[in-house]
């Protein structure tokens, strides 16, 4: 019997995929997933949607049923946090002092919410959303006719706002920047989402400064710098995440806005791999170092990490893609738009709810944001991965077949 033992720290999407892929690649040794969450790895995108509304139970959100891990001899060490990685003696130390020896280690520690020091943020009813425990806590404060203030106009904030609005709540979104989604997309997309949320009855305030969160034991409202007070039964703060790199950094691994890995998902210690939101890696399609917060990256990178641990070096070369569901909108993003200098629209963003935005840097197509446009998304995903671009003049003309748009 093999004496190998792969310990996976973190109960994330990447952890679930890495463990399953290890078995598929022929790993015969022990596998342990050590996670702080009391549940086996579960789907995280529904946290701001189906989990928040209660449409899905905890068990329905599991990536794989608990029996899968038992059947594949994968040990789940749940509800446990790792306090230290001892690289010299190849073991991890848990918070309760217990030790687990490893021959290979995988870090799938994901990310943690970015917290902001607003006076009153310690009040009951002020919440962050990162795990199922958070979703359960938030649901206590939800209900038709109640008021919610969402601080942060990124994807998580807008998705949660849509979910709460669909429950019949009064929802206000506060964004410090001049537009929602400012860090991740174009002004055209921001204007579109502002329009749709407004049509759905959500109030969006931008260029906002917050003075404090008000309340006694429970939150009652949010006071803005201009003196305006917004009533609130719940305040949800969604202002981004930070990569969970503390363990790696303390262990002396290279960290730079994420755990630095090579094309084979190896850290600076080749007995330790890492995958998912916690990593910073090179993407050959964009010739850039990226840290991606996406299920796609977590899964694809985890597969590469598993191959590496099993002795097969296969370079990670995946096109980033993402999605966001809000109301009846399915946003699908193919590629990575950072560095764009031109946006070309296929369809009308000022009315209706279906169009696609093509992002260019010079003549090079970088990414496509497709809203209720699955064909544009699928074709962009395929052609971007092949290194092809598109003809901006043909993008605009919807009478031109999509294949012709990319054939230039």
The topology (CATH level 3) of 126-237 is FAD/NAD(P)-binding domain (3.50.50)
CA 183 to chain centre: 14
Of 88, 96, 110, 82, the C-alpha closest to 7 is 82
Give the distance, in angstroms, between the CA of residue 368 and the centroid of all CA atoms in the same chain: 18
Question: What is the domain partition of the chain in residue ranges?
Answer: 5-112+241-309, 126-237, 328-406
5-112+241-309 and 126-237 agree in CATH topology: yes
What CATH homologous superfamily does 328-406 map to? FAD/NAD-linked reductase, C-terminal dimerisation domain (3.30.390.30)
pTM as predicted: 0.95
8 Å CB contact between 346 and 352 = no
- In angstroms, what CA-CA distances link 141 with 62, 97, 235, 310, 325? 24, 37, 9, 47, 22
Between strands 272-274 and 74-78, the pairing is unpaired
3-state secondary structure of 263: coil
Its CATH architecture, for the domain 5-112+241-309, is: 3-Layer(bba) Sandwich (3.50)
Q: Are strands 210-215 and 104-107 parallel, antiparallel or unpaired?
A: unpaired
In the chain, how long is the greatest CA-to-CA distance? 69
DSSP state of 147: E
Neighbours of 365 (CB within 10 A): 27
Residue with tokens 């064909």: 375
Full pLDDT tens readout for the chain, 408 residues: 579 999 999 999 999 999 999 999 999 999 999 999 999 999 999 999 888 888 899 999 999 999 999 999 999 999 999 999 999 999 999 999 999 999 999 999 999 999 999 999 999 999 999 999 999 999 999 999 999 999 999 999 999 999 999 999 999 999 999 999 999 999 999 999 999 999 999 999 999 999 999 999 899 999 999 999 999 999 999 999 999 999 999 999 999 999 999 999 999 999 999 999 999 999 999 999 999 999 999 999 999 999 999 999 999 999 999 999 999 999 999 999 999 999 999 999 999 999 999 999 999 999 999 999 999 999 999 999 999 999 999 999 999 998 898 876
């Amino acid at each position: 019997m093999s004496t190998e033992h792969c310990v996976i720290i973190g109960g994330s999407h990447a952890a679930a995929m890495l463990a399953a892929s290890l078995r598929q690649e022929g790993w015969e040794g022990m596998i342990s997933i050590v996670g702080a969450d009391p549940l086996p790895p579960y789907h995280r995108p529904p946290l701001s949607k189906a989990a928040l509304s209660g449409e899905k139970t905890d068990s329905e959100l599991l990536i794989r049923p608990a029996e899968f891990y038992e059947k594949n001899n994968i040990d789940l060490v749940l509800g446990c946090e790792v306090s230290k990685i001892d690289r010299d003696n190849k073991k991890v130390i848990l918070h309760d002092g217990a030790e687990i020896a490893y021959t290979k280690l995988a870090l799938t520690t994901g990310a943690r919410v970015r917290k902001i020091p607003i006076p009153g943020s310690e009040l009951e009813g002020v919440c962050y959303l990162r795990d199922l425990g958070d979703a359960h806590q938030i649901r206590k404060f939800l209900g038709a006719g109640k008021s919610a203030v969402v601080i942060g106009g990124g994807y998580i904030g807008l998705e949660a706002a849509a979910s709460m609005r669909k429950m019949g709540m009064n929802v206000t979104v506060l964004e410090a920047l001049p537009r929602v989604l400012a860090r991740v997309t174009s002004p055209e997309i921001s204007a579109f989402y502002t329009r749709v949320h407004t049509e759905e009855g959500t109030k969006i305030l931008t260029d906002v400064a917050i003075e404090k969160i008000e309340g006694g034991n429970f939150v009652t409202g949010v006071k803005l710098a201009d003196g305006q007070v917004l009533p609130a039964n719940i305040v949800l703060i969604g202002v981004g995440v930070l990569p969970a790199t503390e363990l790696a950094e303390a262990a002396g691994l290279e960290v730079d806005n994420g755990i630095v890995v090579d094309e084979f998902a190896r850290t600076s210690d080749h007995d330790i791999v890492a995958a998912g939101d916690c990593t910073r890696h090179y993407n050959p399609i964009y010739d850039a170092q990226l840290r991606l917060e996406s299920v796609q990256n977590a899964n694809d990178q985890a597969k590469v990490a598993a191959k590496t641990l099993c002795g097969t070096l296969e370079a990670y070369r995946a096109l980033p893609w993402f999605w966001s569901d809000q109301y009846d909108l399915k946003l699908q993003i193919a590629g990575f738009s950072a560095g764009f200098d031109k946006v070309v629209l296929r369809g009308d963003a000022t009315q209706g709810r279906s169009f696609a935005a093509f992002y260019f840097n010079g003549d090079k197509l970088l990414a496509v944001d497709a809203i209720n446009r699955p064909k544009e998304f699928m074709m962009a995903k395929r052609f971007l991965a092949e290194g092809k671009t598109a003809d901006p003049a043909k993008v605009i003309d919807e009478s031109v077949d999509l294949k012709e748009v990319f054939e230039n």
